[in-house]
Amino acid sequence: MKMRLFLGAMALAAGPGFAADQAVTHSFDGSFEDAAFAVESAIIGRGLVIDYVSHTGEMLNRTAADVGSDKVLFEEADIFLFCSAQLSRKVMEADPMNLAHCPYGVFVAEREGAVMIGYRQYPEGPMQEVQALLEEIVQEALE
């Protein structure tokens, strides 16, 4: 699972040519800490449980020299991973292979002084309901 999170973070870090068509991002007018708190509150406020917070930005910064890089990808970046039992059952009853998209994640990142909140895009069909939930969570965090 950690490798999957790492690869997802790398996809986001790869730049606009790669991640722009895979992620929905929104600018956040405030600090990284405020954005992270707002996302956490929006998820918990829906009665959802955050299974794991991946501190991907810390890992990338800590291991940069180990992999021969001096490039700072993010000042900070966290991914909040969670699931919705009701929604997950619904989308997996429609297609059991929607399992591949679980858990769902909302990320908060600071890059070059700009804070963003986002999530990966999901395929057309039943997973659009999950994407709509993620957008609702992000919109609440942006308020």
CATH of the domain at 92: 3.30.310.70
- Cite the beta strand spans of the chain per DSSP E: 23-28, 49-54, 76-83, 104-111, 114-120
- Residue 83 to residue 137: CA distance in whole angstroms: 13
Q: What is the mean pLDDT of each run of 10 residues along the chain (143 residues)?
A: 42 44 94 98 97 96 94 96 96 96 97 96 95 97 96
Burial class (CB in 10 A: 0-12, 13-18, 19+), 111: middle
Q: How many other C-beta atoms can be found within 10 angstroms of the C-beta atom of residue 35? A: 26
What pLDDT sits at residue 111? 96
What pLDDT sits at residue 20? 59
Expressed as residue numbers, the domain containing 9 is 2-142
Cβ proximity of 120 and 106 under 8 Å:
no
- State how many domains the chain has: 1
